[in-house]
Amino acid sequence: MSEAAKKDAHDDEALILDAQQAMRDRGRIPEVAGVLGWLIPGLGHIYGGFYKKGALGLVLVLGLYLAGLGLSQGDAVQLDGDLAHPIAFVAQVGAGLPTGLAYLRSRGKLPGFRDVPAEELESEDYFKSREFIQRLPDVQTGLLFTMVAGLLNLLLAYDAFRGSPGAVARHLEEARIELRIQRLREELSAQQPEAEAEAEPKAEAEAEAEPKAEAEPKAEAEPKAEAEPKAEVKEETS
């Protein structure tokens, strides 16, 4: 890694720490922002003072999660029985509170649970039934939505925990480029006087040489000019 790249990496690290420090300066605790962001998508950003980001995150990520839950009629979040999706649950855990509530609902501890009798679930007829097969695409879509929302929320929560330094980093990068351009301009302007100072004696020498060169043709031309009137005078007199 070059010296400049090392310095940039160091600056970026300092910037991330600065973003967290800036959050603390505003009286917000980054760890609380991270936990809130994990519990409810976008809440960490809202807590940290990034209201627009938080509001959009809340609408889009939580909306995606709820859409998935609604499409699957709650079956997307399951850990028990034959309808369980344990691997999907790992991704869904990224959205803390909605997944917790959906899990409680799947255990029948919250209202809205669509109770399928255990005997019915145990029989193979249920899984071959028209109702179950018709619902399968929606359950798959619901699984996709809830998993994607859970995983994306982990990103959002982490961003809230770091004090959302992304935009700041971009602004810093732009400022850094401008600074480099300014430094280059300064170097160029510092080099210019030296170049001019070097160029001046040459220019003076050339300037000294030029009048001589110009003077010589004049010297040649003048006698002719002087000679011509004489010839004219001679013609007049004759």
Instruction: Choose which of 30, 53, 69, 85 interacts with another protein (CB under 8 A).
Output: 53
Minimum Å distance from CB 158 to another protein? 8
Minimum Å distance from CB 181 to another protein? 20
Distance in angstroms (rounded) separating the CA atoms of residues 119 and 186: 82
Q: Is 10 in the site for another protein (CB under 8 A)?
A: no
Q: Is 144 in the site for another protein (CB under 8 A)?
A: yes
DSSP string, 102-130: HHHHHTT-STT-----HHHHHSHHHHHSH
Residue 161's H or E segment, with its range, is: helix 130-161
Instruction: Choose which of 93, 97, 101, 148 interacts with another protein (CB under 8 A).
Output: 148
Q: Is 40 in the site for another protein (CB under 8 A)?
A: no
- Alpha-carbon dihedral 113, 114, 120, 123, rounded to 10 degrees: -90
Minimum Å distance from CB 150 to another protein? 12
Q: Is 167 in the site for another protein (CB under 8 A)?
A: yes
Residues 76-115 that bind another protein (CB under 8 A): none
Q: Are 75 and 48 in contact (CB under 8 A)?
A: no
| Phi, psi (deg, nearest 5) at residue 49 | 100, 5
Distance in angstroms (rounded) separating the CA atoms of residues 131 and 116: 12
Q: Is 156 in the site for another protein (CB under 8 A)?
A: yes
Instruction: Choose which of 9, 14, 17, 56 interacts with another protein (CB under 8 A).
Output: 56
DSSP string, 179-226: HHHHHHHHHHHHHHHHHHHHHHHHHHHHHHHHHHHHHHHHHHHHHHHH
Q: Are 165 and 52 in contact (CB under 8 A)?
A: no
Instruction: Choose which of 16, 22, 35, 67 interacts with another protein (CB under 8 A).
Output: 67
Q: Is 26 in the site for another protein (CB under 8 A)?
A: no
Q: Is 141 in the site for another protein (CB under 8 A)?
A: yes
Interface with another protein: number of residues (CB under 8 A)? 25
Q: Is 34 in the site for another protein (CB under 8 A)?
A: no
Tokens linked to 102: 């959906």
Minimum Å distance from CB 34 to another protein? 13
Distance in angstroms (rounded) separating the CA atoms of residues 22 and 222: 83
Binding site for another protein (CB under 8 A): 52-53, 56-57, 60-61, 64, 67, 137-138, 141, 144-145, 148-149, 152, 155-156, 159, 164, 166-167, 169-171
